[in-house]
Amino acid sequence: MPKLDKPVPVERRIFSTNFRASRRLAGMTLQQVSDTANISVPFISMVESGNQNVTVSSMAELSHAVQVPLYILLSPSYKPESFEHGIWKKYVKKVQEVMPQILEQQLLAENARHYRKLAGLTQAQVDKWADFREGTTTDIERQTGNMSIDVIAPLAPVLGIPFFKLFEPN
């Protein structure tokens, strides 16, 4: 029996579409993004086409390369042509002032824990309802490993929030 491919999560499609549009709007070539983010051109091309599962750290590197915060690139309502790069400066300033040295993985961990507690759920309940392997929610909240977008995509619906909220600074 042939193996059926899993459908590409909508979150991956949103990121790839928004990233590609932001790169083009910034007038950057794949090579320029590669040089800035230290990620290979073939990988970036696969990310842009939606054919590559991408980790939080790679999404962070790519978002920094085009100077658009990750949570904005993950928003389905993002309009690259109306993005003000002043937002990037405020974002970087806020991250440096309010949350020194914070990384997107820390935002993911803090927001996952915050919204899970708001929803009154245990880590085990989230694992079960998101169809995670046992301990995945714990790994996310403890920043263990470098999760991919496809792995964490089921988390937001269980918590009752849009996906980009997992990466939005408070």
Q: How confident is the model at residue 24 (pLDDT cuts 50, 70, 90)?
A: very high
Average per-residue pLDDT for the chain = 87
- Quick check: pTM over 0.85? no
pLDDT in tens, 80-137: 777 776 676 666 666 655 544 457 888 899 999 999 999 999 999 999 999 999 999 9
Q: What is the DSSP string of 23-52?
A: HHHTT--HHHHHHHHT--HHHHHHHHHT-S
Give the class (CATH, top level) of 10-76: mainly alpha
pLDDT at residue 101, as a whole number: 42
CA 143/CA 95 separation, integer angstroms: 18
Percent of the chain with pLDDT over 70: 86
The listed CATH number (3.40.50.1000, 3.40.50.150, 3.30.70.100, 1.10.260.40) that belongs to domain 104-167: 1.10.260.40
